Structure 1
Amino acid sequence: MPGSSDGSLRLARLGAIEVASRAALGQQFDKHSHDELVISANLLGEEQVWLDGRTFSAGAGCITTYNPGEIQSGGVLPGQPWHYVGLYVPVDYLANSLGHERLQFVRPWQYAPALTSELAAAVNTCLSDDALLRERGEEQVTLLLGRVVRGAGVSLAAPREAGHLAVRRLQELLAARLEATPSLDEMATELSLSKFHLLRSFQKHTGLSPRQWAMQLRTRRAQGLLRQGMAPSAVAHALGFADQSHLNRHFRAAYGLSPGRYQALLRR
């Protein structure tokens, strides 16, 4: 599939991997998460990152790495130019490529200007209209992933713990009832906790309220359904959004484009 352009954004899917290149002014993303491992190489601008309660800056030449499900947000100051390339890689794909059953990134930030430039060049090749060049770009990206992993460090242990047992139980409850988020009273009763204790514990471990966490998960699930070709209106209905405009608002805040535009870019 050739790369597509929507002003500042180019996006393409190559097998299991999705790649993107984006240039923008003052771009900001609300708190959200992804189903895949996310690798972002910053070519221009100083991104301010919030990641599971931690904050750090990533300037030009920096590579940031995020594990599936980690709550993140970030962006640059209003009016500041920002250019980055991104890779969205299923964890099983990367683990199998490196000969492991599963893995997760340990360090979310590395300064690697040379690797950043090589990643940008490889992603640009992946976004070419020439099928042979796209295949070459996919090969380049695959080889570079090993170097990204070495810089980020990986853990081969069990999946990352979500925090306190009650928080994990509530996350499971919210995920199971994603189309209709339980009321606060229902959550507290289910977990045998006071509403105050529930909210305080959840906020401490995730940086979000239960309703905010459910919404970012709903938006993340919407991205997966859109990739499968489901119409935005059907996605909104399936995941309990009030209507398609409600989905549009949250999807754009999290990922920087509307659901319809996201699908259009992947189809070209």
Structure 2
Amino acid sequence: MQTEANAQPNAAAASSVWQYGRRGDTIEQAIWSGDFSLPLSWHFHQQIQITAVLIGRRHFLAANRPVTVNAGEILILPAGLPHKALGIENDRTLSLNLYLPHSADALRKDAIIVPTPRWFAGRMTGGLVSDWAMTTLMRSGQCGFERVAEAVATMPPDEHLNISDVASTRGMSREGFIRWFRRNAGVTPHAYRVARRLNRARMLLATDAAPAEAAAEAGFADQSHLGRHFRLAFGVTPGAYRRAVRR
């Protein structure tokens, strides 16, 4: 386990890269510090993501909605919501992502921004933060995720089915289905499939699979194919991620 996983984020410790690690046994974290960052590609997580901005601001697209999170605020993204982090340029920023277990009830909520609780910096234990994030989502009353959920439910686990076949089950042309899916989910069907494979690879890497093994089992052509998409979505190589978070 990396010693940085249990350290409080601070500008001196973090460099201008994503630093992944673990906070306890069940929660992954990622720290960003710097004044320049390329955007990350569309992806989603199988956990609730919270992004606490400590210095500066972060910009996102959550499905089709632009979101800005300022210092002193936390963005809560429900599991399964496609999103992308936009780039940072000449804007000193320090932020912390936590990836939290969730209940099924939290899945159909929309992304929300809330003030950072006073207790947050000193009491980031897994159970407390997870319970707080789920309770906050459930109380928000924002249920804008239904259109996203409807779109992603059309994508069968069998990735050998081509998009034309999936479209025909809804009585749409291939082009019409792609437009409908992107309008509702914020991403194309192909991008959603890539993100789903990335989550599979990420899970395998966290349980100590080698990058080549994770690439093959997740459906990527080879290790370099996985590496390209992994860096674009998560900001690090599969090998660096594996070393930081493996159990």
Pairwise TM-score range, normalised by the shorter structure: 0.7 to 0.9
Partner of 2:235: 256
Number of residues of Structure 1 aligned to a counterpart in Structure 2: 235
Please state how far the C-alpha of 1:120 moved relative to its aligned partner.
3.7
5+ residue gaps, structure 2, are: 6-13
Partner of 1:30: 41
1:67/1:242 CA distance change after superposition, 3 Å? same
C-alpha RMSD over aligned residues: 3.1
Partner of 1:142: 127
CA–CA distance in structure 2, aligned partners of residues 258 and 106 of structure 1: 29
Alignment of structure 1 residues 52-63 onto 2, 5 Å: 52-63=63-74
Conservation of the 8 A alpha-carbon contact between 2:78 and 2:111: no
Conservation of the 8 A alpha-carbon contact between 2:56 and 2:92: yes
Partner of 2:10: none
Partner of 1:170: 154
The SS at the match of 1:170 is: coil
TM-score, structure 2 length as denominator?
A: 0.81
Conservation of the 8 A alpha-carbon contact between 2:77 and 2:110: no
Conservation of the 8 A alpha-carbon contact between 1:219 and 1:251: yes
Higher share of residues assigned helix = 1
Partner of 1:4: 4
Following TM superposition, where does structure 1 have runs of at least 4 consecutive aligned residues deviating by more than 6 angstroms? Answer: none
Partner of 2:106: 103
Conservation of the 8 A alpha-carbon contact between 2:52 and 2:73: yes
Alignment of structure 1 residues 78-227 onto 2, 5 Å: 78-92=89-103, 102-104=105-107, 105-106=109-110, 108-112=112-116, 115=118, 118-122=119-123, 138=125, 141-149=126-134, 151-154=136-139, 161-163=146-148, 167-171=151-155, 173=156, 176-178=157-159, 180=160, 182-227=161-206
Conservation of the 8 A alpha-carbon contact between 2:152 and 2:185: no
TM-score, structure 1 length as denominator?
A: 0.75
CA–CA distance in structure 2, aligned partners of residues 120 and 164 of structure 1: 33
Kindly, what percent of the aligned residue pairs are identical?
Answer: 24
5+ residue gaps, structure 1, are: 93-100, 124-137
Conservation of the 8 A alpha-carbon contact between 1:109 and 1:152: no
Partner of 2:245: 266
